[in-house]
């Protein structure tokens, strides 16, 4: 959300108050310059040049476009700049416009200050933090202090209220001489900490190898958003011109990461990663592969492989959970740890680092395995989770894990697997294990000490053992930890009001129920293990305990009837008072690991135009809708979709609030009033488990964007660009006022129609062009009417602000070339400005011109007299070229 304030402009002397919208503005050095040789650039560049000339001992920093522009001869800065500082090894030692490009360690001693010619925030910060603190650092933002009037309106943008600039974003750096470099490529989910990677890191710490861990996801996340929010001149697009999402890391957009064009957007990062990995040349490259980062990771590994085929590629992660898929999950891998790698990775990398070629290891698959060898993993699954050190992420700075919009959610694991493990559609049926509640709370405490207070349990079966969950809550209270918790749990007969009260006391603020089945018959079919009354009771007790509830639904399972759909709609309507929102609503997807996948025949599942073996070979993870259906009753993809729409319509009628995924479906129904067949819409259900989402596609392409929440406003989208804007400055902050407060009067305002001073105040607000600054218009009062505490704090209820005024429309050229001066008039004042110098009324009024450049007087004559006195030239010597322009 941009910081929009409702601002009342008033003149205290007339007690007239008018409302108008105001918005906090920021200045963007990158957006300030078009580098098109245009007038606006020239004015801004000339102002920077004046600033640099006013100080001594400047070097330019960074080889950006601004550096090049500042070194153009016409600005006359060559004598004032000693060198260009760079952190790019490819440029160091070269020359830029005759100036040597030096590294930070080679900065000449006479340099006292640097001016950043790199306007891209992240790159500038990378260099800025390397420059010795003794040197003063400046950038184009000096214009906001020295020459406000030369700043083009494109440089202003509404404050997106984001965390940027973030000066701690790590650089992409890989160390040489490593046995293993472990990376996690984009995208994970939001700015979540890489929990699984942290466990891998812990395992590697105990191994006898030299290794480095780099979370490339979080670096890319912050680079993307910094550029988008602070620097981008245009909306971001892929190389093929497709708009990039505001936040591709949102779960709604998981699909985007399967699109090569989206990955190509990140080509600069890809190139940097690959180049640096090749230079570092580790013996082993470890990649954590999950659903969303598959393509990005594949691109990195493919390119590294081309240049350095000797690097051993070791894969693991979400995508590598199934031994039946094995190396096919990531075919570029030489080795793969299947599933949890806590006990397998250490020994494996030690052997690889020693140059061995291990084979046939439990829990590991490799290109070196003996043909016909049977994979085993039972003995390597970590059974005692307490033996594993907690995830501390101590290779990195935990403060990096925060969303661009200040939101922070931290993952934690108290259990792994699912204790129930019976639901027929589910692929999360892993062996269940739990940690000692005290150790879990130790981890909360550690993370809380590091600034985290909202946590998500990263697990399938939070209440697998209710007593353990209650023990966690008690321990949190005993230690007086002020944290908020969320997680996903099962409806259970053990979960009564007392249970939810205890959870609320422990800090739970939201819980997601994998209700999944909403009729007696489907509850049995899905093997959920609870009843309809239990669903009602759990949702009611949870809500009444003060915990926000979310629910999931899975539709279209084998054996489901039309009657089940009606009962589903009824039950949902009945439970509406106790449902916060619908998080996921999915049609069944046939996924690897589910009971339906393992025993399709048992559930009347038939495959289309091929045998089961052929289909499974072709689709090792999930079987698309068009290749299967279930019988008695007949249910195929179309039926599933129709049922989904019916349920969604029913929920809509019951007044349900839906999460972003389900919202897409509902919006479409409301919009078209038709069923899915008529839309030509294909709904992709990524996975059929409780943690999955729907994405909607139209003829194979993503459906027209639903109205999703916009976290920030790009300048192109704001009124800042479209509407007249007045920029006001208060202390060091800038505010823009648009939406003129005075409706256009039937008769144009005249000095006679309203009091003169009010007229001026109103003019200051409604006049179209850009910037106003303090002048004879003196000051206005404004009062902030807002409930936003933050804005209120920034603006005391009554605050005096400087009004910045644009004089251009009021400036008249009276006579040109009077002894080398132009005579101009602004209102009732006259000025003589030396030719070749831009005229700036405020500067003249504040006496900021150098001597003999500008004269001021009450009449034209008085100004000419001053000029003659200063130059020693008399009136009769007035240039013959002088042209009388006005009377």
- Which CB atom, from 693 or from 775, has the smaller least distance to ligand SF4? 693
Among 401, 420, 444, 855, binds ligand SF4 (CB under 6 A): 420
The partner in contact with residue 429, picked from ligand B12, ligand SF4, none with C-beta cut-offs of 5 to 8 angstroms by kind, is ligand SF4
633 preceded by cis ω (within 30°)? yes
Shortest distance in whole angstroms from residue 585 CB to ligand SF4: 15
Among 22, 248, 346, 411, binds ligand B12 (CB under 6 A): 411
- Which CB atom, from 528 or from 729, has the smaller least distance to ligand SF4? 528
What is each CA distance from 127 to 24, 101, 132, 743, 791, in whole angstroms?
A: 28, 14, 10, 49, 33
Q: Binding mask 478-497 vs ligand SF4 (x if CB under 6 A, - otherwise)?
A: ------------x-------
Catalogue the long-range contacts made by 67-72 (C-beta closer than 8 Å, 24 or more residues apart).
67/96, 67/117, 67/118, 68/96, 68/97, 68/117, 69/33, 69/35, 69/41, 69/45, 69/117, 70/45, 70/115, 70/117, 71/96, 71/97, 71/98, 71/99, 72/45, 72/97
- Which CB atom, from 295 or from 742, has the smaller least distance to ligand B12? 295
- Which CB atom, from 691 or from 741, has the smaller least distance to ligand B12? 691
Distance of alpha carbon 420 from the chain centroid:
36
The partner in contact with residue 646, picked from ligand B12, ligand SF4, none with C-beta cut-offs of 5 to 8 angstroms by kind, is none
Task: Give the bridge partners for 9, in sequence order.
Answer: 18, 782
Is 593 near ligand B12 (CB under 6 A)? yes
Shortest distance in whole angstroms from residue 505 CB to ligand B12: 25
Parallel, antiparallel, or unpaired for β 81-85 and 58-61?
Answer: parallel
Contact 188, 290 (CB under 8 A): yes
Q: Binding mask 441-460 vs ligand SF4 (x if CB under 6 A, - otherwise)?
A: -------------------x
Is 338 near ligand B12 (CB under 6 A)? no
Catalogue the long-range contacts made by 514-517 (C-beta closer than 8 Å, 24 or more residues apart).
514/423, 514/488, 514/489, 514/490, 514/552, 514/690, 515/491, 515/539, 515/551, 515/552, 515/553, 516/423, 516/425, 516/552, 516/553, 516/554, 516/690, 517/554, 517/557
Q: Binding mask 673-692 vs ligand B12 (x if CB under 6 A, - otherwise)?
A: -------------xx-x-xx
* Site residue total, ligand B12 (CB under 6 A): 48
- Which CB atom, from 429 or from 819, has the smaller least distance to ligand SF4? 429
Give the separation between CA 507 and CA 33, rounded to whole angstroms: 49
Task: Give the bridge partners for 182, in sequence order.
Answer: 213, 286
Shortest distance in whole angstroms from residue 590 CB to ligand SF4: 15
CA-CA-CA-CA dihedral for 288, 170, 409, 713, to nearest 10: -110
- Which CB atom, from 146 or from 258, has the smaller least distance to ligand B12? 258
Give the separation between CA 430 and CA 196, rounded to whole angstroms: 15
Is 316 near ligand B12 (CB under 6 A)? yes
Sheet holding 211-215, edge to edge: 211-215, 180-184, 284-288, 312-316, 335-337, 364-366
Give the separation between CA 657 and CA 651, rounded to whole angstroms: 9
The partner in contact with residue 60, picked from ligand B12, ligand SF4, none with C-beta cut-offs of 5 to 8 angstroms by kind, is none
Contact 253, 224 (CB under 8 A): no
Is 461 near ligand SF4 (CB under 6 A)? yes
Contact 694, 586 (CB under 8 A): yes
**Cα torsion 690, 694, 700, 702: sign:** negative
The structure tokens listed for 52 are 């640099």
What is each CA distance from 79 to 48, 109, 146, 353, 527, in whole angstroms?
A: 15, 16, 22, 55, 81
Is 231 near ligand SF4 (CB under 6 A)? no
Q: Candidates 327-335, 383-391, 419-427, 717-725 — which segment interacts with ligand SF4 by CB under 6 A?
A: 419-427
Is 597 near ligand B12 (CB under 6 A)? no
Q: Per CB under 6 A, which of residues 436..495 are in contact with ligand B12?
A: 458-460
Give the separation between CA 184 and CA 188, rounded to whole angstroms: 8
Shortest distance in whole angstroms from residue 464 CB to ligand SF4: 8
Shortest distance in whole angstroms from residue 708 CB to ligand B12: 16
Give the separation between CA 225 and CA 543, rounded to whole angstroms: 36
Q: What are phi and psi of 436, to 5 degrees?
A: -60, 125
Among 202, 415, 586, 690, binds ligand SF4 (CB under 6 A): 690
Is residue 624 helix, strand or coil? coil
- Which CB atom, from 460 or from 825, has the smaller least distance to ligand SF4? 460
The partner in contact with residue 160, picked from ligand SF4, ligand B12, none with C-beta cut-offs of 5 to 8 angstroms by kind, is none
Q: Candidates 154-162, 424-432, 528-536, 843-851 — which segment interacts with ligand B12 by CB under 6 A?
A: 424-432
Shortest distance in whole angstroms from residue 167 CB to ligand SF4: 41
Q: Smallest Cα–Cα separation from 547: which of 461, 488, 603, 593? A: 488
Is 418 near ligand SF4 (CB under 6 A)? yes
Is 196 near ligand B12 (CB under 6 A)? yes
Is 314 near ligand B12 (CB under 6 A)? yes
Is 273 near ligand SF4 (CB under 6 A)? no
Contact 402, 581 (CB under 8 A): no
Q: Which residues of 271-297 are buried (b: 16+ CB within 10 A; e: fewer)?
A: eebbeebbebbbbbbbbbbbbbbbebb
- Which CB atom, from 82 or from 492, has the smaller least distance to ligand B12? 492
The partner in contact with residue 421, picked from ligand B12, ligand SF4, none with C-beta cut-offs of 5 to 8 angstroms by kind, is ligand SF4
* Site residue total, ligand SF4 (CB under 6 A): 14
Q: Smallest Cα–Cα separation from 594: which of 555, 631, 615, 623? A: 623
Shortest distance in whole angstroms from residue 459 CB to ligand SF4: 9
Question: Helix 637-653 and helix 562-575: axis angle, to 10°?
Answer: 30
Is residue 655 helix, strand or coil? coil
- Which CB atom, from 599 or from 617, has the smaller least distance to ligand SF4? 599
- Which CB atom, from 359 or from 576, has the smaller least distance to ligand B12? 359
Shortest distance in whole angstroms from residue 572 CB to ligand B12: 23
Is 526 near ligand B12 (CB under 6 A)? no
The partner in contact with residue 138, picked from ligand B12, ligand SF4, none with C-beta cut-offs of 5 to 8 angstroms by kind, is none
* Conformation bin of residue 76: beta by default, left when phi > 0, alpha when psi is -120 to 50: left
Per the listing, tokens 């603020």 go with: 509
The partner in contact with residue 286, picked from ligand B12, ligand SF4, none with C-beta cut-offs of 5 to 8 angstroms by kind, is ligand B12
Q: Candidates 36-44, 417-425, 782-790, 805-813 — which segment interacts with ligand SF4 by CB under 6 A?
A: 417-425
DSSP code at position 134: T
The partner in contact with residue 316, picked from ligand SF4, ligand B12, none with C-beta cut-offs of 5 to 8 angstroms by kind, is ligand B12
Radius of gyration of the chain (CA): 33
Is 192 near ligand B12 (CB under 6 A)? yes
Contact 178, 282 (CB under 8 A): yes
Among 51, 58, 253, 254, binds ligand B12 (CB under 6 A): 254
The partner in contact with residue 216, picked from ligand SF4, ligand B12, none with C-beta cut-offs of 5 to 8 angstroms by kind, is none
Is 428 near ligand B12 (CB under 6 A)? yes
Q: Binding mask 544-573 vs ligand SF4 (x if CB under 6 A, - otherwise)?
A: ------------------------------
Is 420 near ligand B12 (CB under 6 A)? no
Is 428 near ligand SF4 (CB under 6 A)? yes
**Cα Dmax for the chain:** 111
Parallel, antiparallel, or unpaired for β 622-623 and 681-685?
Answer: unpaired
Positions that interact with ligand SF4 (CB under 6 A): 418, 420-423, 426, 428-429, 460-461, 490, 514, 689-690
User: Which residues here bind ligand B12, judged by CB under 6 A?
Assistant: 182, 187-189, 192, 195-197, 199-200, 254, 286-288, 290-293, 314-319, 321-322, 337, 340-342, 345, 411, 413, 416-417, 427-428, 430, 458-460, 593, 686-687, 689, 691-693
């Amino acid at each position: 959300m941009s910081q929009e304030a409702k601002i009342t402009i008033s003149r205290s002397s007339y007690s007239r108050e008018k409302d108008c919208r105001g918005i906090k503005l920021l200045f963007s050095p990158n957006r300030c310059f078009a580098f098109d040789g245009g007038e606006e650039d020239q004015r801004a560049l000339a102002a920077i040049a004046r600033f640099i000339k006013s100080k001594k001992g400047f070097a330019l920093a960074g080889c950006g476009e601004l550096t090049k522009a500042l070194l153009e001869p016409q600005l006359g800065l060559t004598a004032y700049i000693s060198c260009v500082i760079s952190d790019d090894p490819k440029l160091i030692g070269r020359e830029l416009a005759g100036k040597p490009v030096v590294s930070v360690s080679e900065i000449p001693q006479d340099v006292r200050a640097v001016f950043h010619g790199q306007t891209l925030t992240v790159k500038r910060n990378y260099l800025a933090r390397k420059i010795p603190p003794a040197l003063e650092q400046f950038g184009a933002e000096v214009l906001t202090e020295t020459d406000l009037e030369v700043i083009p309106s494109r440089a202003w943008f509404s404050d997106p209220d984001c965390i940027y600039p973030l000066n701690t974003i790590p650089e992409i750096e890989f160390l040489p001489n490593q046995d293993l470099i472990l990376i996690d490529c984009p995208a994970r989910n939001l700015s979540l900490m890489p929990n699984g990677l942290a466990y891998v890191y812990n395992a590697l710490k105990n191994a006898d190898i030299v290794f480095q861990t780099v979370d490339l996801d979080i670096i890319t996340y912050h680079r993307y958003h910094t550029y988008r929010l602070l620097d981008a001149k245009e909306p971001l697009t892929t190389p093929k011109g497709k708009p990039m999402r505001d936040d591709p890391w949102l779960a709604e957009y998981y699909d985007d990461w399967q699109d090569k064009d989206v990955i190509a957007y990140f080509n600069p990062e890809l190139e940097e990663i690959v180049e640096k990995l090749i230079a570092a040349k580790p013996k082993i490259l470890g990649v954590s592969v999950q659903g969303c980062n598959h393509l990005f990771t594949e691109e990195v590994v493919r390119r590294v492989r081309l240049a350095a085929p000797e690097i051993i590629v070791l894969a693991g992660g979400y995508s590598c959970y199934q031994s039946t898929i094995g190396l096919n999950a990531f075919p570029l891998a030489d080795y793969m740890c299947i599933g949890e790698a806590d006990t397998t990775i250490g020994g494996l990398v030690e052997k690889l680092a020693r140059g061995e070629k291990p084979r046939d290891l439990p829990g590991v698959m490799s290109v070196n395995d003996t043909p016909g060898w049977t994979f085993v993993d039972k003995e390597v699954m970590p059974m005692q989770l307490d033996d594993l050190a907690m995830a501390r992420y101590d290779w990195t700075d935990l403060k990096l894990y925060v969303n661009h919009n200040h939101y922070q959610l931290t993952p934690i694991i108290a259990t792994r697997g699912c204790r129930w493990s019976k639901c027929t559609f589910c692929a999360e049926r892993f062996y269940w294990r739990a940690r000692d509640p005290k150790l879990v709370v130790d981890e909360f405490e550690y993370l809380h000490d590091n600034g985290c207070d909202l946590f998500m349990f990263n697990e399938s079966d939070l209440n697998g053992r209710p007593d353990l969950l209650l023990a966690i809550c008690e321990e949190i209270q005993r230690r007086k930890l002020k944290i908020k918790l969320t997680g996903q749990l099962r409806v259970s007969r053990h979960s009564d009001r007392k249970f939810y009260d205890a959870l609320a006391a422990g800090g739970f603020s939201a819980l997601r129920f994998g209700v999944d089945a909403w009729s007696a018959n489907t509850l049995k079919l899905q093997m959920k293990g609870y009843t309809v009354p239990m669903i009602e009771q759990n949702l009611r007790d949870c809500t009444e305990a003060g915990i926000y509830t979310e629910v999931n639904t899975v539709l279209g399972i084998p054996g489901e009837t039309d009657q089940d759909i009606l009962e589903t709609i009824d039950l949902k309507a009945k439970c509406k008072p106790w449902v916060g929102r619908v998080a996921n609503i999915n049609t069944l997807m046939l996924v690897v690991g589910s009971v339906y996948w393992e025993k399709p025949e048992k559930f009347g599942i038939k495959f289309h135009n091929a045998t089961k073996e052929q289909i499974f070979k072709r689709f090792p993870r999930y079987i698309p809708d068009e290749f299967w259906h279930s019988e008695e009753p007949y249910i195929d993809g179309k039926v599933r979709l129709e049922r989904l729409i019916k349920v969604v319509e029913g929920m809509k009628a019951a007044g349900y609030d839906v999460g972003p995924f389900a919202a897409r479906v509902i919006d479409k129904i409301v919009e078209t009033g038709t069923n899915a067949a008529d839309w030509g819409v294909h709904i992709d259900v990524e996975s059929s488990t409780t943690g999955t989402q729907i994405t909607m596609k139209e003829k194979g392409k993503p459906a027209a964007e639903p109205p999703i929440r916009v976290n920030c406003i790009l300048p192109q989208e704001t009124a800042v660009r479209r509407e007249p804007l007045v920029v006001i400055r208060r202390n060091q902050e800038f505010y823009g006022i648009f939406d003129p407060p005075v409706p256009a009067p039937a008769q144009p305002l005249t000095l006679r129609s309203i009091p003169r001073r009010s007229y001026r105040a109103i003019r200051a607000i409604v006049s179209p062009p850009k910037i106003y600054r303090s002048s004879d218009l003196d000051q206005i009062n404004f009062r902030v009417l807002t409930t936003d505490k933050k804005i209120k704090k920034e603006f005391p209820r009554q605050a005096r602000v400087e009004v910045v005024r644009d004089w251009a429309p009021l400036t008249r050229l009276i006579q040109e070339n009077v002894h080398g001066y132009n005579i101009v008039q602004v209102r009732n004042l006259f000025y003589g400005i030396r030719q070749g110098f831009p005229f700036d009324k405020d500067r003249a009024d504040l006496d900021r011109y150098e001597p003999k450049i500008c004269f001021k007087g009450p009449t034209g004559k008085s100004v000419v007299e001053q000029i003659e006195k200063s130059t020693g030239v008399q009136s009769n010597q007035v240039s013959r070229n002088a042209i009388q322009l006005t009377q």
